[in-house]
Amino acid sequence: TYEATDYLEGDGVTDDDIDELYGGLKETYYEPAAVDDRIAREWMRIPHFYRAFYVYQYATGISAALAIVDDVLPDGAGGEPDREAADDYLEFLQQGSREYPLELLQIAGVDMSSSEPIDRALATYGERLDELEELLS
């Protein structure tokens, strides 16, 4: 919403400003539900709004998971699993949290320091979008 930009370009943002903005959005998009002061302040408990890179974790996690699935099942769900990739994935799981996530994912064959997992995820998304368009036509 552009109202948030107006607040930021003004004299700063107060919690009351955010209550008003968030409450207004709730009223607009969740009608006919009643929006009271508690709902208007709900934004304070949602970590997406105040933890840097919180939502980014969803995208990186999904990208890593898709890369693992593509490696383990290169021919799709009906095909034969790649034994080596499956073993790498099991080794990854057995490690628990002994190392940093980037290092653990490399055990599973996923290098999140490169663009490849993101590129693969975007390609998968594009394929699913094409399938949806075909189904809807």
Write the pLDDT tens digit of every residue in 20-50: 999 999 999 998 889 999 999 999 999 988 8
- Stated pTM of the model: 0.72
Residues 49-65: pLDDT tens digits? 888 888 889 999 999 99
78 and 43 within one domain: no
Q: Tell me: do 62 and 14 sit in the same domain.
A: no
What is the Cα Rg of the chain in Å? Answer: 21
- The tokens for 105 are 């994912």
- 99-120 burial, b at 16+ Cβ within 10 Å, e below that, comes to eeeeebbbbbbbebeeeebbeb
Let me know whether 40 and 60 are in one domain: no
Mean pLDDT to the nearest integer, 94-118:
97
* End-to-end alpha carbon distance in the chain: 32
Name residue, tokens 């974790």.
Answer: 57
Domain span at 27? 2-49
Q: How many domains does the chain have?
A: 2
Are residues 75 and 21 both part of a single domain?
no
- Is the domain of 45 the same as that of 61? no
Same domain for 104 and 78? Answer: yes
CB contact at 8 A, 118 and 70 = no
